Amino acid sequence: MHSILKKTQKKILIQVCLTGLLFSFNTVVNAQFLTQTLSSDLNTFANDLAIYIPTTLNTPSNYGTVLALRHWAGPGTSDWRSQLAFSTENDFYYRQSTNTTGSVWTPWKKVYNSGNLNNSQTDFNANRLFAKELTISQTQTNVLLSATGNSYINSGNFGIGTTNPKNKLDVNGTIHSKEVKVDMNDWSDFVFKENYNLPTLLEVEKHIINYGHLENIPSEKQVIKNGINLGEMDAKLLQKIEELTLYIIDLNKKLELQNQELNAMKRKIGNL
């Protein structure tokens, strides 16, 4: 009988202890996480949890909860403060005090994440941005790249109107420019050198008959398939122009000689 009574008393004691622990735990939880004060000014709010509304001063948004963290060892020591704000718009902000008394604050800084960064309303500034891929929305018609210094792409190919560029710049469309400069390693003035072997007009005619285009000039089929290199093509066309100039000079000399012979014949006939 005495043993049964002792066991019963032990069970009652355990239940009382558990009830006390649960009550204490709930009290602590409620005090730390459920009881939130309404702050009137976040600049003076430190080391606690509070809510803010549109009438609260120095807030990052209209409604939200702010967590204030404070490092203060006591009178005469520095008072450093930090605040984390969780808005009802699912945005996250933070700021810190900039003086040793915790009275001057940095502006609120918005923390971007995978939940709020990918949208068409977000604007942000960055000194340097690293990304594996940058996609500009197809619904946007204007893209502005503004810089006061030099801009460059250090490697890879760039395509406009094409997703698989083969060259440093591939454009599937029209390029409109006031001027295009092409660097060259040589030019076609070798035509005017004394040792240049100028084809005869008969040789030029034979090549046209056999191949349907001028020598050293790509055919229509080649141009349609491979396009043309502007610098190389300009040099080849200049070569043909210079060759044509030599032909004209030679023909002019022959024409002048014929005129001289004709005038001489006229004088002889006139003396008869």
Cα(30)–Cα(40) distance, integer angstroms: 22
Residues 39-91 pLDDT 10s? 999 998 888 899 999 999 999 999 999 999 988 888 878 888 999 999 998 88
Q: Which two tokens stand for residue 165?
A: 């560029």
pLDDT at position 66: 94
Q: Average pLDDT over the chain, rounded to whole?
A: 84
pLDDT at position 252 over 70: yes
Residues 133-159 pLDDT 10s? 777 666 656 777 777 888 888 889 999
Cα(93)–Cα(52) distance, integer angstroms: 13
Choose among 110, 106, 116, 125: nearest CA to 58.
106
Average pLDDT over residues 260-265: 92
What residues does each domain of the chain span?
A: 41-113, 134-171, 201-268
Strand partners, 97: 105
How do beta strands 158-160 and 169-171 pair? parallel
How do beta strands 109-111 and 92-96 pair? antiparallel
Average pLDDT over residues 247-272: 92
Q: What percent of the chain has a predicted confidence (pLDDT) above 90?
A: 55
Residues 100-115 pLDDT 10s? 888 899 999 998 887 7
When pLDDT is cut at 50, 70 and 90, the band that residue 33 belongs to is very low
pLDDT at position 14 over 60: no
